[in-house]
């Protein structure tokens, strides 16, 4: 399918001065906005809602901390209000690779254009 990377801004709803901007990989196998645990302090004091068992693309298991509330805005799309999942990640060549999954895409009305390798706007939401 190729790699689709988009710029995203994440902001703590309780303290908008605490925010971060990064490039994130679109991962349709993921559900949440996934961020490295090393960045957690950059978003300030977020409520830890739950700790989950996660399965990676390589079939390994990991633990993730669901925290929120946050405002997530993918460049070019409307902002949404949701949670993020912090996961212990190993940097690849010194850089982390955050990702966002299908829940975030659906909420901000974005779809993957597999031919153009980009995100496009969804004109209508499903009611069914």
DSSP state for residue 102 in the 8-state scheme? H
Burial 61-96 (b: 16+ CB within 10 A, else e): eeebbbbbebbbbbeebeebebbbbbbebeeeeeeb
Name the β-bridge partners of 20: 10
Q: So what's the pLDDT on residue 76?
A: 97
Q: What is the pLDDT of residue 1?
A: 53
**pLDDT, tens digit (0-9, with 9 covering 90-100), for 37-96:** 999 999 999 999 999 999 988 899 999 999 999 999 999 999 999 999 999 999 988 899
If one looks up domain 5-121 in CATH, what number appears?
2.40.70.10
Task: Kindly report the average pLDDT of the chain as a whole number.
Answer: 94
What is the pTM assigned to this prediction?
0.92
- pLDDT computed for residue 57 by the predictor: 81
The pLDDT score that the predictor gives to residue 45 is 96
């Amino acid at each position: 399918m190729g790699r689709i990377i988009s710029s995203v801004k994440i902001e703590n709803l309780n303290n908008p001065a605490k925010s971060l901007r990064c490039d994130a990989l679109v991962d349709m196998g993921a559900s949440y906005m996934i961020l490295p645990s090393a960045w957690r302090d950059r978003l300030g004091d977020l409520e830890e809602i739950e700790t989950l068992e996660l399965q990676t693309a390589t079939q390994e298991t990991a633990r993730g901390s669901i925290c929120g509330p946050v405002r997530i805005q993918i460049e070019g799309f409307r902002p949404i209000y949701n949670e993020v999942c912090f996961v212990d990640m190993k940097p690849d060549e010194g850089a982390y690779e955050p990702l966002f999954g299908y829940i975030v895409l659906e909420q901000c009305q974005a779809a993957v254009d597999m031919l153009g390798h980009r995100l496009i706007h969804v004109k209508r939401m499903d009611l069914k």
